[in-house]
Amino acid sequence: MTEMGETNAPLLQIEQLEVSAGASGRKVRILQGVDLALRERETLGVVGESGSGKSTLAAALTRLLGSGLSITGGRMTFAGEDILAMSAKRLQHLRGSEIATILQDPLHSLTPWIKVGLQVAEPAVFHEGLSWRDAKARAVDLMRAAWIPEPEQRMKAYPHEMSGGMRQRAAGAIALCSAPRLLIADEPTTALDPTIQLQYLDLLRNLQRQHGFALILITHDLGVVARNCQRVAVMYGGRIIESGPTKEVMDNPRHPYTRGLLASMPRLATAGRQQKRLTIIPGQPPVPGAAVQGCAFQPRCAERLERCATQRPPVFTPARGRESACWLEENTQ
Amino acid sequence: MLNKWRASDIPALLAAAFLVIIILVALCAPLLAPYDPTFGNLTARLLPPAWMEGGRPDYLLGTDHLGRDELSRIMYGARISLAVGIGAVLFAGTLGTAVGIIAGYSRGLADQIIMRVVDAWMAMPSLIFAIFLAAMVGPSAGNVILILGLVYWTRFARLVRGEVLSLRERDFVKLAIVSGASSWRIMLRHMLPNVVNTVLVLGTLTLGVMIVTEASLSFLGVGVPSPEAAWGLMLAEGKAPMMGGKWWLTVFPGLGIMLTVLAASVLGDWLRVKLDPKGKRR
């Protein structure tokens, strides 16, 4: 891999991204102003519970929102290019060749009646105009890199002839076929066995070292983030409420929600640190798109202030590289 | 799937055998038919079948009012019925499948417009619509294929569109989309193979409808023109002699239509059950 010039300009820059559902008359905002920046080769973990908007964010990146959803505000640039201004043709090229996606469900994400090898080779043919011969040769290499044993034989296999883990690895190989600069993995391990999960995340890290893509790992598992990501963004109610370097956020969470999330996660008792009872965050997460006046977390927050119910907290920067959208930060500025 | 025959498969087997025989007869009609179907022997008019009083052994199923051999006409009639029926099914199936896939894949406004057109199309009574079209293009076997295809493609479009709408939500289609496959490729490669079974079943079931409609058009004089030997046309021409007790001129072509349509329906029904991955439903 050639070393790319380390520039300060981020690979992906999202500013105040807003996604809404429904007709213009009765709009419901699913993403309420998301800011995000990702550098070349960086790994970002996006965590949040169901309905926090993390999958919507992933879909919005390549403008593949489900029917009824649309981007209603904000800016998104990829390598300096405005994603929102791209033509349909440009978008089709962007998907797969520059921004690749790995879907959640390995059992169903390969087309049943097309040989796996062809499915892995396809993107190289369509995005780069390679001959089928060259694309197949590349597919064999990719499948080997994705830890698929005997890739020459597997090329000719149909998806039902492979195990779930192997299918997921094949889906990974498809994603990497055209050497993308950004890989979005939306809960890539949720459907896999725990042992396969670890192996698959190792694989992703390994491939990232070899191919040098940036990775957005969407998950609800903080453990996955802790092991794999340099930075983490925590989503709640359609906003990123805290972000920063993973280790710092884990060791010293600033936002009450992140603190609650970490306290509710089981860990092994280590020397000098006694395992406490797991705590739970009381209450329910907000219904996606619910019109929130103040802070979305405020009804469940133990540390809420008076203004939390009425005024939406802006994003504060309590320390270098750290961000938190909470009024508690106001005085630390 | 097909390796174990059950007693319930017997009707389908018989139907398939019958259709194969009809198809062979149709294909080999020039070799098998004892006479030219349009040649009338005026000295042998309105002869009854051979086994009846006054019948002649060289005219096995009798002759019509122009002295044409009924058996030869039935054989050549099979040609027209099958060629028109199968041709119309292929035409309607291709057109309907293409429209259905495009509508289901694009969703949104294009889908709405296409499906409202289909609804309006289906709201027209099919036989009257067919007669109207026939009046516009004029009678000929080729035109009947065109007419039947234009009348019945909407059935295929509606069925395929429904299937494609659910396919659109399947993960393998989503993966093809996120990896930047072109729309045409997704429709042809990732969707079409999954609707082929359904189209095949509907096609077989529609074959019977096509044959009946062709016979109706020919009977009404707007389908295959005289003096060709189409079953519907033979029914029309046998109408007057039938009143005089010459039953064979309507019964044999009628039987031809009935048995062929029945065989196509039985086979189509059997295919529907056999090709359903969820096993026997209904």
Eight-state DSSP code of residue A305: -
* CB-based contact B190 A114, cutoff 8 Å: yes
Cβ-defined contact of A126 to B180 (cutoff 8 Å): yes
Q: Which of A96, A111, A127 faces B172 most closely, judged by CB atoms?
A: A111
Instruction: Provide the shortest C-alpha distance from residue B175 to chain A (in Å).
Output: 6
A174/B179 CB distance under 8 A: yes
pLDDT in the model for residue A1: 37
Residue B190 contacts A, CB cutoff 8 Å: yes
- Smallest Cα distance from A204 to chain B, Å: 18
- Residues of chain A contacting residue B171, judged by C-beta atoms under 8 Å apart: 103-105, 108-109
B171 CA: distance to closest CA in chain A (Å): 5
- pLDDT mean over A17-46: 87
pLDDT at B281 over 60: no
Q: What is the pLDDT of residue A196?
A: 80
How far does B39 lie from chain A, in Å, by closest CA? 54
Average pLDDT (A58-69) is 87
Q: Which of B178, B186, B187, B189 to mutate to test the interface with A (most CBs of A within 10 A)?
A: B178
Note the pLDDT of residue A106: 73
Which chain A residues contact residue B173 at CB under 8 A? 111
Within 8 A of A126 by CB-CB distance, chain B residues are 180-182, 185
- Give the mean pLDDT of chain A: 87
Nearest to B172 among A92, A95, A109 (CB): A109
The per-residue pLDDT for A268 is 61
Q: Do A103 and B181 touch (CB under 8 A)?
A: no
- CB < 8 Å from A in window 159-178 of B: 170-178
Task: With H, G, I as helix, E, B as strand and everything else as coil, classify residue A315.
Answer: coil
Distance, CA of A11 to CA of A32 (rounded, Å): 22
Q: How does strand A99-102 pair with strand A182-186?
A: parallel
| Pairing assessment for the beta strands A239-245 and A323-324 based on DSSP bridges | antiparallel
In angstroms, the separation between the Cα of residue A164 and the nearest Cα of chain B is 14
Min Cα separation B154/chain A (Å): 26
Regarding an ipTM greater than 0.85, the answer is no
**B163-180 as b/e, with b when 16 or more CB fall inside 10 Å?**
bbeebbebbbbbbbbbbb
SS3 of residue A157 by DSSP: coil
Q: Identify the closest residue of chain A to B194 by CA–CA distance.
A: A113
Residue of B170, B172, B180 with shortest CB distance to A97: B180
**Do the chains contact at A105 and B171, CB–CB below 8 Å?**
yes
Contact B105, B157 (CB under 8 A): no
- Out of A24-33, A36-45, A124-133, A297-306, pick the least confident: A24-33
Question: What residue spans define the domains of chain B?
Answer: 12-274
The pLDDT score that the predictor gives to residue A270 is 56
**Which tokens in the block code for residue B236?**
């029309």
Q: Is B116 on the interface with A (CB under 8 A)?
A: no
Q: Which residues of chain B lie closer than 8 angstroms to A174, CB-CB?
A: 175, 179
pLDDT (0 to 100) of residue A78: 95
Neighboring chain A residues of B108 at a CB cutoff of 8 Å:
67
Specify the CATH number for B12-274; select among 1.10.260.40, 3.40.47.10, 1.10.3720.10, 3.40.50.720: 1.10.3720.10
In chain B, which residue's Cα lies nearest the Cα of A67?
B108
- Where is pLDDT greater, at A2 or B261? B261
pLDDT tens across B139-190, in order? 888 999 999 999 999 999 999 999 999 999 898 999 999 888 899 999 999 9
Report the C-alpha gap between A128 and A119 in whole angstroms. 15
Per-residue 3-state assignment (H helix, E strand, C coil) for B137-159: HCCCHHHHHHHHHHHHHHHHHHH
Which tens digit of pLDDT belongs to each residue from A91-128?
999 998 999 998 887 778 899 999 999 999 998 898 88
Quick one: angle between helices A132-145 and A164-176, nearest 10? 130
Angle at B249 (CA atoms; ends B244, B252), nearest 5 degrees: 140
pLDDT at A290 over 80: no
Torsion region of B107: left, alpha or beta (phi above 0 gives left; psi -120 to 50 gives alpha): left
Summarize chain A as % helix, strand, coil (round to 5): 35, 20, 45
Angle at A61 between CA A55 and CA A67, to 5 degrees: 65
Give the pLDDT band of residue A7 (cuts 50, 70, 90): low
pLDDT at residue number B105: 94
Lowest-pLDDT choice from A17-26, A110-119, A239-248, A257-266: A17-26
Whole-angstrom distance, CA of residue B50 vs CA of residue A254: 102
Which carries the bigger pLDDT value, residue A66 or residue B159?
Answer: B159
Strand (E) or helix (H) holding A38: strand A28-38
What is the structure's pLDDT at B52?
86
Percent of chain A with pLDDT over 70: 92
Confidence of residue B259 (pLDDT cuts 50, 70, 90): very high
